[in-house]
Chains A and B, each alone.
Chain A
Amino acid sequence: MNIPMFSTATPCAQWAHLLAAQPGDLSPDQRAALDDHLATCATCATIRAEYRAMDSSIRALPAPQPLPALPPALLRLWEDEDQQRSKLRERATTATAAATVEPPLPVSLHSNGPRPLTRRHRVGAIFGSLVATLLIGALLGGYFLLVAGHRPAAKSTAPYGPVVDPAGPRPHLGAWRTIILPSGVPDRAAQLAMPGALGGQPTGGATIFQQPAVSGLLYLVAPPIETTPLRIWRSQDAGATWQPLPLPSSISALPSGASAYLYMSAGDPDTVFMWAYAVSPQRVELRLYSSDRGAHWSTFALPSGSDTWNVAAPSAAHGVWYLPVSVASQPAIWISTDHGAHWSAHAYPVTLPTHTIGQPATPSGIFLDLTYARGGLLWAYQHTLWWTPDYGAHWQALGAWGEQPCDALIQGTPDLAALYCMFSNGQQSWQSGTSLSSVALWRSTDHGRTWQPIPAGPDVTPSADDTHAYSYVTSKSVLRDGSLLTLASSRENAAQVAFYTLAPGANVWHEASAPLTPSQGYCAAPQGDLSTPGANGSSYPPAPPECAQPLDITVTSAPNGAQYIYLTHEPYNQITTPTYVAAITWK
C-alpha cells in the first residue's frame, strides 16, 4: 500500500463537506458546481485526490478473520427452542394417549380374507429409465417429521443441530402385523392371471404414498386391473381407516396394467399430483392434480414441447407448481402459478448437458430432481449442493462433498440439521435398494455446508462382489431423530438380513433391536444383474421358490406421534405380496 503523504493544506470552508462526500451523495447541480470549483482551486483538487487515496487505504486494510461459524449463543438459543417445541409435542402426545384407551394403531391383525398389498413390480427395460426418473422423485420427496414425543435432545458439540448421544435411546422395532387394506384393493392373483401389459411381467400393484408434512396422511393407489379402473384411497390416521376418493372419468383411458404414482411436497400439504401411464397396448399418459387432498381431480398440461422422457416429479409449494423437465433438450425448472395453464422457466445454476428427446438424460435421470426444504428447493448435482429460495431464479452454492458425485439427496430432519447424500456408482438398482458394495454416503450436520463420509451401510457384505447385498437408504426411511434406517440383506449370507440404524451423530450402524422376520423372512435374492433387465424383461433370472426379498420400506408418523414402518416384501414365485407394519418405539 502506497499512500501519499497528506498535504497540510485545508479545503475551502464552503466546499469542505461536498469534497468529503461520495459522488452519489451529491445532486447533479452540486456535482457540476464542485467540478467548476475544482477546475479553478488547486488546493481543493489536491485534497479531493487525497480523500480518494484515504478511501483506498482504508479499504485495503487487512481484513480480520470472519467468524468461524454462527455464534455459539445463537446455536444454544436454537437448541433451547427445539427442546421447548419437543416438550410441547410431548405434552400433546401425553394428552392424546390419556384420552385413548389403546393407542390408535393404524393396523388390525391379519384376518381371514387377506387383501395383500402389492408394491410396484418389475417393469421391462423399456420402462427402466422413465420409471427411475419418476421413482426417484418419490424417493427424494423429502421427509418432514412433525411428530410428538421427540426424545430429549442431547447436548450439541457440532456447530449446528442436535447430535445424538450414542448412549441414548435406540429405535426398537415392534412385532409385525399384516396391514389390512381397504376393501377392493385387487389381489395380485387376479393381476397375474391376466396377460400382463408388459409381456407377462407383473406390473405395479397398490402403493402407499405419504404426505411428508402431515402426520398420518397416506394415499393408496391401486392401478387399473382387468376391467377395474384405477382407484385411490386416503387415510388420515396412518392407515387405520381409508376413504375412497373420486376420480374423473378420464382415468378409464388407462389400460389394465398401467402404473400410477403420486407426488407431494411438504411445501403444500393439500396439493397432490398423479402421474399414470402405460406403454402397451399403446402409450397413454395421464396427469392429474388435486388441490384439496384428493377430493377433486383435474388434468393439467406440461409446458409445450416437454420431453416426457426427462420429466422429474412435479410438486407444489406456497401456491407455486414447480416441474423439472427438459424442453427443447434443455433441462429447466418450469413454474406455474395457475395450475399449469401457463409455464415459465428458470435455469439450473450450472449448464447441464443437452440430450436427445427420447433418450434419458442420465441412466437414472436423477439430476433434475429438487427437494423442498425450509421454504426453498435443494438440488444436488455432482459435487455441489445448491439452494434456491425462489424456484431457481437465484441460486446459492451451499456446500460440497467428496470425490464422488451425489446421486440422491436424503433429507434427514426438517431443519436440515441432518442431511445425507448417497452415491451409488451408477449401479443403483431399479428398485429402491442399492448395492452395498457400490455405495458412498455423506452426512452433513450443518445445513449442507460441510460433509463427512460415513459408512454406507452395515457391514453385512461378506465379499466385495456380493453385489446383491441391498441397503435401502431413502428419504422414506429416516426416523424422527434424523437416524437413517436401512434394511440390509446379503445374497451370500442369508442370515445377515436385518434392520440397522445410524444415528445422526454416530459412525457405526447398529442393528435395530427385534430383528425382522415378517412371516417367511428373507433369503438370497436371485442371481443375475437386476440392475439391467433385458429389453422385454425376460432376462430376470429364475428365483428360488422359497425366497422373499424386501421391496420397500416406508417410515411414517401417525397423528398420535407414533412412528410406524411399512414393509413390502416380495416372495419369489408366489402370488401374494404382503405389506407389513410395525410400530417403532424408543428404548
Chain B
Amino acid sequence: MPHSLSQPRASNTPGDDAPDLLDTLVARARTGDRAAFTLLFERYNARICAYLARLVGDDDLGHDLAQETFLAVWRALPQLRDELRFEPWLYRIATNAARSHLRRGRTLQWLPWQDAESSEALATPGPEEHIGNSEAVSLALKHLSPQCRTCLLLQIEGGFSQREIADLLSISEKSVSAYVSRAREQFREVYRRLSGERQHCADQPHTQQPGGTAR
C-alpha cells in the first residue's frame, strides 16, 4: 500500500540535522562505522574547537585538545550506553581533556569541584593588556575560575540546560546554578574593569603596551 511521499530532509551543514539522524550516526559509529564517525566529527568539529579554545583561552591548545577529544570519543564509543546522551557525553570528554591538560601543565589552577555555595575567593587580577572589544570578552572569560568558565560556556556555547550540565560534570544542579551565577557576576566585574582600562588607554594610547614602554 503506497503511502504519500515524505518530504526530503536534507542537511548540508552540521547542526541542523534532525535528532534521529544523530542517533543513527552515533549507533553506527558505536559499531565501528568510520564513515558515520567522520560525519559526527564534521558535525561537532567547529563546536568542540570553539568550546575548548574558549575554555583554555588559547586556539592552538584548543585544537590539540579537540584532537585528543575526538580520538578519545572514538575509543570510548563502544562503552557509550545511551545514544541519546551523546552530545553531553562528548562535551564531558572535551571538558575532561581540558581539565587533565590544565592539571598536567599547571597552566591554570584547576580546583576540585566543590559545593559552589561555599565561599570561593574571586581571583580576578587586574588586567594590564591593551584590549579591544572582543578581546575584552575573551579576557573576561579567561579571568573566570575554571569551574565558573566551564559552566558558563556549557550553558552559552553548548546550549545545555543546567540539569544537563550537572549530569555532564557529575555535580549537583544547585552547584551548576551557583557557578553560572557567580560566573556572570565575575564576568561583569572583570569586563567592567577591562573596559575601564580600555577607556583609560584610549586617552593615552601608547602607555599601556604589554611589556613595552612609552614612546
Q: Which residue of A lies closest to B1 (CB)?
A: A342
Whether the Cβ atoms of A345 and B67 lie closer than 8 Å is: no
Knowing A54-B187, A375-B28, A390-B21, say if A3 contacts B133 (CB, 8 Å): yes
Q: Which residue of A lies closest to B199 (CB)?
A: A5
Q: Which A residues are CB-close (under 8 A) to B10?
A: 349-350, 386, 394-397
Q: Which B residues are CB-close (under 8 A) to A109?
A: none
Knowing A3-B133, A24-B161, A77-B74, say if A387 contacts B35 (CB, 8 Å): yes
A63 lies within 8 A of chain B by Cβ: yes
A376 lies within 8 A of chain B by Cβ: yes
Report the minimal beta-carbon distance from B135 to chain A, rounded to whole angstroms: 10
| A61, A67, A375, A395: most-surrounded residue (chain B CB, <10 A) | A67
Whether the Cβ atoms of B9 and A395 lie closer than 8 Å is: yes
Whether the Cβ atoms of A51 and B161 lie closer than 8 Å is: no
In Å, the complex CA distance between A65 and B59 comes to 8
The A interface is mostly helix, strand or loop, or mixed, namely loop
In Å, the complex CA distance between A304 and B3 comes to 10
Whether the Cβ atoms of A54 and B66 lie closer than 8 Å is: no
Q: Which A residues are CB-close (under 8 A) to B94?
A: none
Whether the Cβ atoms of A20 and B59 lie closer than 8 Å is: no
Whether the Cβ atoms of B70 and A59 lie closer than 8 Å is: no
Interfacial residues, chain A to chain B (CB-CB below 8 A)? 1-3, 5-8, 10-11, 16-17, 19-22, 24-25, 47, 50-51, 54-55, 57-67, 70-74, 77-78, 160, 303-305, 327, 330, 332, 334, 342-350, 373-376, 386-387, 389-390, 392-397, 415-416, 447, 449
Interface size class, chain B: 35 or more
In Å, the complex CA distance between A303 and B4 comes to 11
Q: Which A residues are CB-close (under 8 A) to B2?
A: 303-305, 327, 334, 343-345
User: Which of B44-52, B82-90, B204-212 forms part of the interface with chain A?
Assistant: B44-52
Whether the Cβ atoms of B6 and A394 lie closer than 8 Å is: no
Report the minimal beta-carbon distance from A482 to chain B, rounded to whole angstroms: 15
Report the minimal beta-carbon distance from B49 to chain A, rounded to whole angstroms: 5
Supply 9 further A-B pairs (C-beta < 8 A) apart from A3-B136, A71-B66: A1-B133, A21-B162, A305-B2, A345-B6, A373-B35, A375-B28, A393-B6, A394-B20, A395-B10
The B interface is mostly helix, strand or loop, or mixed, namely helix
Interfacial residues, chain B to chain A (CB-CB below 8 A)? 1-12, 17-18, 20-21, 24-25, 28, 31, 33-36, 38-39, 41, 45-46, 49-50, 53-54, 59, 62-63, 66-68, 70-71, 74, 133-134, 136-138, 141, 152-153, 155-157, 161-163, 177-178, 180-181, 183-185, 187-189, 191-192, 195
Q: Which residue of B lies closest to A22 (CB)?
A: B155
Q: Which of A24, A25, A327, A447 contacts B34 (CB 8 A)?
A: A447
Q: Which of B21, B38, B59, B189 contacts A389 (CB 8 A)?
A: B21
In Å, the complex CA distance between A374 and B29 comes to 10
Whether the Cβ atoms of B74 and A66 lie closer than 8 Å is: no
Q: Which residue of B lies closest to A335 (CB)?
A: B3
Whether the Cβ atoms of A374 and B34 lie closer than 8 Å is: yes
Q: Which of A3, A10, A11, A346 contacts B6 (CB 8 A)?
A: A346
In Å, the complex CA distance between A332 and B4 comes to 10
Whether the Cβ atoms of A22 and B161 lie closer than 8 Å is: yes
Knowing A16-B181, A345-B5, A349-B10, say if A60 contacts B134 (CB, 8 Å): yes
Q: Which of B9, B34, B46, B138 contacts A78 (CB 8 A)?
A: B34
Knowing A20-B180, A51-B184, A349-B10, say if A390 contacts B24 (CB, 8 Å): yes
Q: Which B residues are CB-close (under 8 A) to A61?
A: 50, 54, 134, 137-138
